[in-house]
Structure 1
């Protein structure tokens, strides 16, 4: 009996030694609006590997989340949907300026793109961006002033118009103006826009991340909606970062890093893919290739010159977005 007891103690000691020792046992992940279900699954898988650890979540429009952290929300990590919101935390002294080099793929573990969700049978025959500016089409997507999701929609539509009109700025602005005019209501975040389209039954087409279109179809019935991937869309990366100012205060840096590292593991990548996100891991991408139709993706850097230039020309107060949005 004594020998069995000693073996049990030794096994427990060995098991404990195999687990990383964290100074903190809890994290808060501040994430974008439509990632709730995704991170429920991610967190369950992560906690299963690290017993005794707990992960809390906060969700909202990506830009709104960044402002909340600047105003006192003590998030240990952020899993956002646009670079500019992490850059805002850099400027506020919350995140290090070399955050892109701390994790692979410029700290983006997965990617997606703006896609369309239409009613079953696609009654309005919506196939591409130019269909969204027709007089008979009502478009739903959130407010690009508060939602990273919507900013990608704005940028993707602008990229399409730049190609269609050979960079004629006046025609591009007219195109985006028509698109904005076809939006009956601008919700603050992606999930609220989904509610407007799916539950309130407003609009002919919802523009959101491809992952969200798949999630909606699964939840509400694949017989009720069709997913339309346009001819061209914008590569939407999903950057992650450790909030240095918070983890240094709470002693949670090691746990924060291990948590974000998990997103890059084959298990983490598979969870991302199962939720409609396009994984970066080649083996996982091959496993799920039949779920993701081919699409020509353009990059922010190639079309707009990078996020700094976008911020200056499109998103800062009084810039192009304000001018177009204010004139709707």
Structure 2
């Protein structure tokens, strides 16, 4: 809703102030009232006649502009592994919106590492909707003043629209016998993972390792010791998840790779042979969706942007996420035979909330001088 009165209302308010200055029992007052009436008629006619020509630059009520357009454009900025799902979902949304609103929606799409996408939006990439790997990235855009606080309450499931879990990829035949998180700390095992200081996926990897200890009765001292041993078995920390995968798959380094389950499922669908284990003590990798308030108000397409975000929660859209390797956030779909047959059951699932949220996580583990820095400083050379 606009903070400014409609032009017609502003004209009426101005006229009312003028009227009080004149007395009705004088010729001067009569003439003045005649002039005021003329002014009012002209003002109202001007407002009515020009209302369809207002652009986002002519009126602060820019968020309503798209409602009067036959064609509307949305810019979606997302993390790389969602591309296949969105390319399947978007045509269905476009068709549905056309039927219900008689508007043609076109999409500009941008995919990349969640951290780099976050920085791009903050630096000026005018995303209308962001779908990122972790809520911490969305919160950075919020802190930059582009997203209003409370975005996670605008839609179901605290803004989480897709999710996955962590998986361990091994060499063919699994020659090192890697079956659980604990095996990654053994002597002679080399693990490939990205740097959590530069990669959102790598933060999930770190939390999965830490979670595997605290969810099975270990205290923080044991968790620190275990994670330190694992990272001592990491020959090189790559910049991002894509580079980690290339280091493992193309360069042949390492005995194991931590990756999203959905990426592995998608790779198998493309014909790649991937051997992997999904540990039954795991972390829920939750990916949030949000409307970028400042940009949709500038572009005048809020209604369409919010419509698209809400559509992603429908069973129809969630089904597309499932087909491409994500676990559904829709509980009814999650209990379906298709999903239970496709995805291994997780016995113990940790969440970001268990750690106090992303602000607490970043401060404790990944900030300057945090636990990860201390582990790296003690790492054997």
What is the TM-score with the length of structure 1 in the denominator?
0.85
Alignment of 1:281-292 (within 5 A): 281-285=330-334, 286=336, 287-292=338-343
Q: In structure 1, which of residues 76, 89, 107 is the aligned counterpart of residue 141 of structure 2?
A: 89
Residue 196 of structure 2 contacts residue 366 of structure 2 at CA under 8 Å; is this kept in 1?
no
When Rg is computed on C-alpha atoms for both structures, the one with the higher figure is 2
Judge conservation of contact 1:119–1:204 (CA < 8 Å) in 2. Answer: yes
- Give the aligned CA root-mean-square deviation in angstroms: 2.1
CA deviation after TM superposition for structure 1 residue 238, in Å: 1.0
Are 2:218 and 1:166 equivalent residues in the alignment? yes
| TM-fit CA distance, 1:271 | 0.2
* Partner of residue 108 from structure 2, selected from 56, 63, 81: 56
Q: Cα gap change, 1:43/1:197 in structure 2, threshold over 3 Å: closer, same or farther?
A: farther
How many residue pairs get aligned? The number is 305
- Displacement of 1:229 in angstroms is 0.8
Residues 257-301 of structure 1 show CA distances to partners (whole Å, capped at 9, x for unaligned) of 111112111110100000111112233221322001111211222
1:50: Cα distance to partner? Answer: 4.2
Matched ranges for 1:1-328 at <5 A: 21=67, 23=69, 25-50=72-97, 52-163=104-215, 166-169=218-221, 171-221=222-272, 224-285=273-334, 286=336, 287-295=338-346, 296-302=348-354, 304-325=355-376, 327-328=378-379
Q: Specify the SS of the correspondent of 1:53.
A: strand
Describe the SS at the equivalent of 1:297: strand
Query: 1:61–1:188: 8 Å Cα contact kept in structure 2?
Result: no
**Structure 1: gaps (5+ residues):** 1-19
Q: Secondary structure of the residue that 2:276 maps to in structure 1?
A: strand
**Offset of residue 217 of structure 1:** 2.3
Q: Helix, strand or coil for the counterpart of 2:107?
A: strand
Shift in Å, 1:208? 1.4
Residue 129 of structure 1, CA deviation: 0.7
Are the aligned partners of 2:215 and 2:281 in contact in 1 as well (CA < 8 Å)? no
State the structure with bigger RCO (CA 8 A, min sep 6), 1 or 2: 1
Question: When the two structures are superposed, what TM-score results if normalisation uses the length of structure 2?
Answer: 0.74
Work out the CA distance in 1 between the residues paired with 2:376 and 2:302. 40
